[in-house]
Amino acid sequence: MIDLTETSVSSEELFDGVLLHAHRDTVRLPDGRTASREWLDHPGAVAVVPLFANGDTMLIRQFRFPPRRTFVEVPAGKFDHDDEPSEAVGRRELKEETGLSAETLTPLGTFFPCIGYSNEVIHVYLAEDLTQGEQELTDDEFAEPMRLPFEEAVAQAMDGSLADMKTITALTRAHYAIQQRGAKI
């Protein structure tokens, strides 16, 4: 196999924001030449698929400013600290956005949603043995929980009704995990 690794020779920070940090790196290409790469440093995130005992799930409706529209999504949020465990982030975001607490969180892996311009990684969990409480949204967060059959949510992910990639990925991974254990929804 050919070594395709690009090695950073120098890095310039272009923007230091609250969430994102933009960089321009000069990289050494596999053939020895150099090129420029612009990329965003992201703290990472966790997405959670809640699964109720009766086969329902809970998604949220939330306005997203960059595309200027409302999306239906799985509960999710970013890491607040470098050393924060992904399971703790998942539990926090599930509670904040839906009011749900989960006795069981099953890891469903990670994925990189924007490999062409960001190092963001999203950890996915299946949340079960749920207890309903009150939402704990932050002061600048608005989200409307939506309870629906899990199979309906998966169908929406597959037919294009849902447009958020983390939600589509999280739902299909959860669906696969449930099928693997032989459970009927």
Of the candidates 42, 72, 61, the residue with the CA atom closest to the CA atom of residue 171: 72
25 and 72 in a single domain? The answer is: no
Verify that 37 and 50 share a domain, yes or no.
no
Do 106 and 147 fall within a single domain? yes
Same domain, yes or no: 107 and 37: no
| Rounded CA separation 167/156 (Å) | 10
Residue 88 sits in the same domain as residue 167: yes
Look at the chain and report how many structural domains it folds into: 2
| Domain extent for 108 | 45-180
* Gap between the Cα atoms of 9 and 173, Å rounded: 37
Residue 76 covered by a domain: yes
H-only helix segments in 35-164: 86-98, 150-159
Spatial contact of 22 and 102, defined as CB atoms under 8 Å apart: no
Residue 134 in any domain: the answer is yes
| Domain presence at residue 118 | yes
Whether residue 25 is found in the same domain as residue 79: no
pLDDT at 184 over 90: no
Do 37 and 52 lie in a common domain?
no
What pLDDT does 159 receive?
Answer: 97
Position 74 scores a pLDDT of: 98
Q: Is position 172 within any domain? A: yes
Single-letter code of the amino acid located at 93: E
Distances (CA, A) of 28 to 5, 10, 24: 9, 10, 13
Q: Tell me what pLDDT residue 73 has.
A: 98
Would you state the pLDDT for residue 102?
Answer: 98
Per residue in 16-70, pLDDT (tens digit) is 999 999 999 999 999 999 999 999 999 999 999 999 999 999 999 999 999 999 9
CATH number at residue 87: 3.90.79.10
Mean pLDDT of the chain: 96
Mean pLDDT of 158-184: 93
Q: Which of 67, 18, 20 is nearest to 40 (CA)?
A: 20
For CA atoms 33, 40, 110, 147, the dihedral sign is negative
Residues 35 and 50 in one domain: no
| Secondary structure of 98-116 as H, E, C letters | HCEEEEEEEEEEEECCCCC
State residue 183's pLDDT score.
Answer: 60
In-domain check, residue 125 = yes
